[in-house]
Amino acid sequence: MTDDEHLPHGHRRGRDPQQKRRPQQRKQVLLRLDPAVHDAIARWAEAELRSTNAQIEFLLRRALADTGRLPKSAGPMPRRGRPPRSSAEEAGSEQPQDPQRD
């Protein structure tokens, strides 16, 4: 029996350096909070136009950065919501024109 035989199908110890790296998935965590703390975070998140989850991640990242513990490998906060307008859209007309009116 090899060392890898007890691992799930397709899993092996170590990595082939030629193998492409898959994007890292986000971790899901069950978090138990005092209801008053949750309500305060939810109100704060609403005031900053974030979800409660995004606010908690923002606060955790800020605490890690402030104490010098944010890993350099940590990616940026994921952008949420509508993507920013492109410069081509901004250069065009403000209102879409109705093709039937021409």
Which band of pLDDT confidence, cut at 50, 70 and 90, is reported for residue 35? Answer: very high
Exposure class string for 71-88: b at 16+ Cβ within 10 A, else e: eeeeeeeeeeeeeeeeee
Examine the pLDDT at 52 and tell me if it is beyond 70. Answer: yes
Contacts of 51 (CB under 8 A, 6+ apart): 45, 80
Amino acid (one-letter) located at 60: L
CA distance 30 to 93: 47
Q: pTM of the prediction?
A: 0.56
Examine the pLDDT at 80 and tell me if it is beyond 80. Answer: no
